[in-house]
Every structure is written in C-alpha cells, then in structure tokens.
C-alpha cells in the first residue's frame, strides 16, 4: 500500500531531511557538468581519507579492510571503493549513477557574427525538448585546453554580477507560421545558437596606421584586434565582424585563450542559477541536472555513512549515459573493470578468475531516476505502477521500451532480498516504471553491469519535469534514498 514518506516522519527526521537537502543543493550548484562533479567529489573524498588508486599501484602498496580508494578516468568518471572484511572474490555491493545531464554543447568552430550579434554554434546533448532552451538565462561551463597543455576553466553566468547568455525566440506577433509546426520542429537544432554579444569593437582610422600611441593604452586583446585589422589591410583583405572581434578581445583579456583554442575545448551550456526549494512547504527541490545527480550524491554519501562493511562497497559515477554510455568515460568502457583488476592485485587476489568471480558475485543498484506521476498528464502513465513524488525511493524492475527492449529486468529473488533489507529498516520504497507500456521508455546503465552476471536493479527517486531545464524531486524521497543506499551497502549479500 502506498504511503507518503512525509506522513511517517517525526520532527527529528524532518530536520534531517531538510539538512541533507541543503547539502545536496550545494552539490548541485558546484557540479553542473561532469568535470565539476568530479572535482567536487574528489576534494570531498580525499578529505575523508580516500587514496588515489594509481598512486597506490605506483608505490607498490596494498589494501586492507577499512581502506578507501578512488580512481578518476579522464576527469569525467570516478569509481570509489571501501574495502570490506570479505575477500573481493566474493563480490562487492555496487552503487552506480551517472553525472552527465542533457544540455547544449559548443561546437569546435563555433564563433560567428550575423545581424549585429556574436554567436556560439551549438549541438544539443542527450534527449531535450529544444524549444525549452529559447529566451531563458543560460550559463557557460567547461574547459579550454591550449596547445601547450594549459587548461582554462570557465564558469560564466552563475553569479549575480556575471553576464548570462541566451538563445533568441521569435516574437509571438510574427509566429503564425511557426506555431503551425509540431513541438519537435518549432525550434530546429541548428537554431540553438547562443547569443554572446552585440557591441562592435570599433577601430578608428588613426588606429589603423602603423604608428599610434593609443595602442599602448589598449588591453592585449584589443591590441591584437587592431593589429589583425592592419595585417588584413596590408594584404588587401576585408576583415569583417566588429562584434566578433570584440568578443575575441574579451576572451583573450579575461580568459587567456584565442579563437583556435575552441578546437580543443569542452564547453557546456546549462540553465543559469542555483538549486531552489519549491513549494510553500519547501518540500521539493527545483534544479537543473537532477537526472542523475540526485542519485549520484546520495550514492557518494552512502559510501561514507555506511558502518562496518562485510562486502567491499563500491560507487561508480560515470559520464555519457544520456547518449548511450558510449566512449572512454561511459559505462561501456573498460575503465571500471580495469580499476577492479588493479584493486584485486593490491589485495593479493591478482588473477583473471578472481576478477570474473568478483564481478559475477556482486550486487548492484543502478542508481538512476524514474518518472514521477504528473496528474496534469495522467494519460501518459499507468497509475498503479507509476512512481509518485514523496512516497520514498523507487525500485524499477525494468526500463527499456516497448517489449522491455534494452532493459535489465531484475530477478525476483534479488528484489525479494532488497525488500527484506528495506522493510527491516523501515525505509519507505515504491516500485515504478517509465510511463505507459506502448508510449515511450528509456534506459540506464543497469544492463551493462548485468553483462557480468551480477544482480542489478534500478533504484532512484521519481523526478517531475525530467530532462527539462529545471527538474523537481521530493526532499523526503532523496533522504529515503540515502538510507536505502546505506542499508544496501551494509547488508546486501545475494550472489547470482
């Protein structure tokens, strides 16, 4: 029977729920991209006594029960271990979430000028409703890596005194034709270009001459723009784009990179602003990127809050889930398997057979979200099996789409094992699926880990507005998720 998690929470538990949600919101604000999430979590992990795996390997070290180890891959994925008292060969208890979220990515040759505006050309990442990105404040996050190896870190648009950026929208007065298009077509992907400036960089006539004392009063970026204009004049070339030149001078003066450096940049465009409480009762969190950082943060915290561990605890936080878990930093990469192999060697269990046994004997919660029932769009859901905001963590037996295609479909024995653990501790949970059977669907990393033969099920919280600019979760669900993850790490023991 369904029961709202708030209804059974006493005063002290409500205080714990609210306190944890504040910590979670701070994490969201500091981790709007995968790289930012990794930087934030590594700093916390090292403060909690985690040691870097490759450093241990290089030093010829070993691991013993109680040790904490982490490994980062390409600054966008991380795996953390807390060594238990049992042999690793007997399996681990694994929490696995993703830290990438839908967004706009800046292209490699992005900067251009048209109609008095400077733009950055973009490509959307993951499943988005493109029309949501117009006429809303956007921030720019990421890195620019120069040829000499220098990394420039960008985060512009979050603080009140920083500029924001935007994608333009066609005024309603001229939208008669536009409004006849379907929602999927009303904003095309190539129209999602970011406006980043409109002020022309004016070069006066005397500044085009060879000898001009005013050059000494300019910034280096402005001087470079003037000198480029002079060289173009010598070669009888027309150098156009005064607004574009102004932007380039700012990028050089304030951030220290040139236009060619966009070639080796990873810049992400996300909604500007901080995570906020939602509702008069402050029962919900409204923020960007909660799919799937709402599972990633409790997974990370559970690794610290779990008490004595029999089986080794593991937390995997990965990139690229929103585009199929591909690439070197996605779950389909071998980075996790390689890290486990290194850990086994440090524990004195160095063999290919031990690695296979460890993975096959492991239990996993694929820490990912499900859709929350929305009364306004009730026809999209099958109510009996939908996840509801405020009713606790959600176990999703299968994801996939039509005919369970692409799903993991957890075993009944494993679900019964988890039910006992959660019920014994009084942790509120529900079951969920992703909408009506024939309507849609989605996927997680569950099926990838299941390839090793381990028991896996999706376990997260319901999310309202999933993949919108601002997603909504229940604070009570998030706290129950933390408690559930801790219980899992401490007690799960079922082998495949």
Predicted model pTM? 0.93
pLDDT, tens digit, 9 for 90 and up, residues 27-75 = 999 999 999 999 999 999 999 999 999 999 999 999 999 999 999 999 9
Same domain, 350 and 262: no
Same domain, 55 and 191: no
**Among 207, 238, 271, which residue terminates a domain?**
271
Mean per-residue pLDDT, 295-324: 96
Residue 223's pLDDT is: 78
Assess whether pLDDT exceeds 60 at residue 179. Answer: yes
**Among 242, 271, 300, which residue terminates a domain?**
271
pLDDT, tens digit, 9 for 90 and up, residues 328-383 = 999 999 999 999 999 999 999 988 999 999 999 999 999 999 999 999 999 999 99
Same domain, 193 and 257: yes
Same domain, 47 and 176: no
Q: What is the CATH number of the domain that holds 216?
A: 2.30.250.10
Same domain, 75 and 215: no
Same domain, 266 and 376: no
Provide the domain count of the chain: 2
Structure tokens at 289: 């990127």
Assess whether pLDDT exceeds 80 at residue 388. Answer: yes
Same domain, 330 and 186: no
Tell me whether residue 1 is in a domain.
Answer: no
Same domain, 152 and 72: no
Residue 236 structural domain:
103-271
Same domain, 52 and 123: no
Assess whether pLDDT exceeds 80 at residue 207. Answer: no
pLDDT, tens digit, 9 for 90 and up, residues 395-442 = 999 887 777 888 888 999 999 999 999 999 999 999 998 888 888 778
Residue 2's pLDDT is: 76
Average pLDDT, the chain: 92
pLDDT, tens digit, 9 for 90 and up, residues 112-160 = 999 999 999 999 999 999 999 999 999 999 999 999 999 999 999 999 9
Q: What is the CATH number of the domain that holds 351?
A: 3.40.630.10
Same domain, 220 and 294: no
* % of residues, the chain, pLDDT over 90: 84
Say how many C-beta atoms besides its own lie within 10 A of residue 263's C-beta.
Answer: 11
Tell me whether residue 25 is in a domain.
Answer: yes
**Among 212, 236, 271, which residue terminates a domain?**
271
Residue 226's pLDDT is: 73
Assess whether pLDDT exceeds 60 at residue 239. Answer: no
Q: Which of left, alpha, beta for 199 (phi over 0: left; psi -120 to 50: alpha)?
A: beta
**Of 342, 276, 388, 304, the residue nearest 71 (C-alpha):** 342
* % of residues, the chain, pLDDT over 70: 94
List residues bridging with 153 in a β-sheet.
143
Same domain, 318 and 437: yes
Tell me whether residue 147 is in a domain.
Answer: yes
Residue 238's pLDDT is: 47
Query: Do β-strands 265-271 and 103-114 pair in parallel, antiparallel, or remain unpaired?
Result: antiparallel
Tell me whether residue 396 is in a domain.
Answer: yes
Tell me whether residue 394 is in a domain.
Answer: yes
Residue 160's pLDDT is: 92
Tell me whether residue 281 is in a domain.
Answer: no
Tell me whether residue 6 is in a domain.
Answer: no
Residue spans of beta strands (DSSP E) within 393-491: 393-396, 400-401, 429-431, 441-442, 455-460, 462-463, 471-474
Same domain, 73 and 112: no
């Amino acid at each position: 029977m369904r029961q709202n998690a708030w209804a059974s929470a006493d005063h002290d538990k409500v205080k714990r729920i609210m306190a944890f949600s504040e910590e979670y919101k701070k994490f969201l604000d500091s981790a709007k991209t995968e790289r930012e999430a990794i930087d934030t979590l590594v700093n916390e992990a090292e403060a909690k006594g985690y040691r870097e795996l490759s450093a241990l390997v290089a030093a010829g070290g070993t691991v013993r029960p109680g040790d904490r180890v982490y490994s980062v891959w390409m600054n966008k994925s991380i795996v953390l271990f807390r060594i238990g008292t049992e042999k690793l060969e007997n399996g681990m208890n694994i929490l696995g979430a993703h830290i990438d979220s839908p967004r706009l990515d800046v292209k490699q040759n992005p900067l251009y000028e048209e109609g008095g505006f400077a733009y950055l050309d973009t490509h959307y990442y993951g499943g988005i409703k493109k029309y949501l990105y117009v006429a809303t404040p956007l921030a720019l996050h990421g890195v620019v890596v120069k040829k000499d190896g220098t990394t420039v870190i960008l985060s512009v648009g979050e603080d009140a005194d920083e500029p924001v950026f935007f994608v333009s929208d066609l005024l309603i007065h001229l939208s008669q034709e536009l409004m006849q298009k379907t929602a999927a077509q009303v904003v095309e992907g190539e129209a999602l270009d970011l406006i980043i400036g409109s002020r022309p960089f004016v070069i006066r006539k005397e500044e085009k001459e060879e000898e001009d004392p005013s050059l000494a009063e300019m910034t280096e970026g402005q001087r470079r723009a003037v000198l480029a204009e002079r060289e173009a004049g010598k070669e009888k070339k027309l150098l156009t784009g005064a607004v574009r030149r102004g932007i380039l001078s700012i990028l050089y003066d304030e951030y220290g990179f040139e236009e060619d450096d966009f070639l080796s940049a990873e810049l992400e465009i996300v909604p500007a602003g901080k995570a906020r409480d939602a509702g008069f009762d402050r029962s919900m969190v409204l923020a960007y990127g909660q799919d799937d950082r709402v599972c990633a943060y409790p997974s990370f915290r559970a690794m610290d809050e779990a008490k004595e561990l029999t089986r080794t605890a593991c937390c995997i936080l990965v990139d690229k889930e929103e585009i199929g878990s591909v690439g070197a930093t996605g779950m389909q990469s071998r980075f996790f398997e390689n890290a486990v192999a290194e850990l086994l060697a440090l524990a004195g269990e160095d063999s290919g057979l031990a690695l296979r046994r460890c993975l096959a004997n492991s239990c996993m919660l694929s820490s990912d979200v499900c859709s929350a029932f929305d009364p306004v769009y009730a026809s999209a859901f099958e109510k009996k099996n939908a996840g509801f905001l405020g009713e606790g963590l959600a176990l999703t037996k299968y994801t996939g789409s039509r005919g369970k295609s692409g799903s993991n479909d957890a075993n009944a024995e494993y679900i019964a094992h988890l039910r006992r653990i959660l019920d014994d501790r009084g942790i509120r949970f529900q079951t969920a699926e992703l909408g009506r059977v024939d309507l849609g669907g989605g996927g997680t990393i569950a099926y990838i880990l299941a390839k090793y033969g381990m028991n896996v099920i999706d376990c997260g919280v319901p999310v309202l507005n999933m993949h919108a600019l601002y997603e909504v979760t229940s604070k009570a669900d998030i706290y129950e998720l933390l408690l559930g993850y801790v219980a899992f790490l401490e007690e799960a023991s079922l082998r495949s």
